Amino acid sequence: MNNKREILDSLKKVIDPEIGINIVDLGLIYKVDPGDEVVYIEFTLTSPGCPLADIIEADIRRVLRDDLDITGVEMNLVWSPPWNLDFLSEEARLELGYPI
């Protein structure tokens, strides 16, 4: 079984190309279920219709494979709850100039 912490650390290498901040600190990852066979990841994007879904999905698969040798990944792009600024981590807030 994979370690959720390790998976999240790895996902921090996936950068939202528009904002320049990793998807974990942006609060785009809603759920990580390490699973026995397949890792299940539920994620969102900062706005519906964001054209980057494919790129981010491919990046997620790439880092998990390269870092943790995980090939079985099931991903679900969800829009509920809708993402908002409150989902930013403190580090992302600092980076973007919001108070923490």
Contacts of residue 7, Cβ cutoff 8 Å, sequence gap at least 6: 32, 34, 39, 64, 68, 70
93 Cβ contact partners less than 8 Å away, ≥ 6 residues apart: 99, 100
Candidates 7-15, 32-40, 52-60, 74-82: pick the segment binding another protein (CB under 8 A). Answer: 7-15
Using CB under 8 A as the criterion, what x/- string covers residues 74-93 for binding another protein?
Answer: ---------------xxx--
Q: Which of 6, 9, 42, 57 binds another protein (CB under 8 A)?
A: 9
What's the closest the beta carbon of residue 3 comes to another protein, in angstroms? 15
